[in-house]
Amino acid sequence: MLLSNRAAIITGGARGIGKGIALKFAEEGCSIVIADLIVNEAAKTVEEISKKGKKAFFIKCDVSDSRQVQNLIDQVIKKIGKVDILVNNAAIAQVPGSITFVSEEEWDRVLAINLKGTFLCCKAVVPYMKEMRYGKIINISSTGAIDPPAQAVSYSAAKAGVLGLTLDLALELAPFNICVNAILPGGIRTELWKSNIPPGVNEEDFFANAAEMRPMKRMGTPEDVAGAALFLASDLSGFVTGDRIIVGGGVPLRQKYESVRK
């Protein structure tokens, strides 16, 4: 197994992409700590992993609160003794709308969870990884960071910030054998993506249209992202840092794809 005797913290691991990553890592022998605020779904995910004979824990944590983040890391060190892998996945969506209607409060909330939360978790875990001279940090950004949709300014800005943080941290931590990389999902069918459905639009019609816009003609799944995360979390990527993997079914190629079709 690729992650035998490893321990991972996955923020936002209760459902969606985070859950997909948690299940995949557990299958590969990893002990899992899910950090989330969605208590009921987190408990179900932990139970699902435990039934398969794997170690899993849930720690309630708001990643935008530095005290809660430090408590998270302290509890993991106490329970397991180490953190080999950190997956910064916790995120919220922006209500779609022009910058004219984005409130300062909404901007602050999206940036606090999607960007500041990634910063705080990295800051808290890095001293332990440095001591071990080993670590894998995987930051979940978005194709919105490089190919942004209209009317998602706070979300796109936060996810672009995650890319900048990833590159800077990768350079700082390379001498300590700590790899820092980003995954850019695009068009993954999750609860987060449902928030993009306009009022009155049928869910299945919405996702069918979204799939048609992608060169691969389908929406992605949490399992698609989990496969990329497994590569970055394992020793298969031991010489990969400061990089990004786009998991979007060809989304950044959309314009080229459309021009070919014409």
pLDDT tens, residue by residue, 48-101: 999 989 999 999 999 999 999 999 999 999 999 999 999 999 999 888 889 999
Quickly state the pLDDT bin for 249 (edges 50, 70, 90).
very high
Q: Kindly report each contact of residues 234-241 with a partner whose C-beta sits within 8 Å and lies 24 or more positions away, as own/partner.
A: 234/2, 234/3, 234/28, 235/2, 236/2, 237/136, 237/179, 237/181, 238/179, 240/179, 240/181, 241/170, 241/173, 241/174, 241/178, 241/179, 241/180, 241/181
The confidence score (pLDDT) of residue 211 equals 84
Sorted by sequence, the CB contacts under 8 Å of residue 254 that are 6+ apart come out as 147, 213, 214, 215
**Cα first-last separation, the chain:** 46
Which pLDDT score is estimated for 214?
A: 83
Report residue 111's pLDDT band, with 50, 70 and 90 as the boundaries: very high
Say if residue 122's pLDDT is above 80: yes
pLDDT digit string, tens, across residues 149-170: 778 999 999 999 999 999 999 9
Phi/psi of residue 241, nearest 5 degrees: -150, 150
The pLDDT value recorded for residue 149 is: 79
Q: What confidence score (pLDDT) does residue 206 get?
A: 81
Nearest CA to 36 out of 95, 100, 87, 101 is that of 87
pLDDT for the residue numbered 258: 54
pLDDT digits over 180-237, tens only? 999 999 989 887 767 677 778 888 888 888 888 888 889 999 999 999 999 999 999 9
Q: Which residues are catalytic?
A: 155
Which of 68, 78, 83, 1 has the alpha carbon at shortest distance from 35?
Answer: 68
Average pLDDT, rounded, for the chain: 93
Nearest to 235 by CA among 16, 23, 53, 29: 29
CATH H-level, domain 7-261: superfamily: NAD(P)-binding Rossmann-like Domain (3.40.50.720)
Pick from 45, 55, 47: nearest CA to 20: 45
**Residues 122-135, mean pLDDT to the nearest whole number:** 98
Q: Which amino acid is at 134?
A: Y
Using DSSP's 3-state secondary structure scheme, residue 133 falls into coil
Q: What angle do CA 175, 22, 169 make, to 5 degrees?
A: 25
Q: Where are the domains of the chain?
A: 7-261
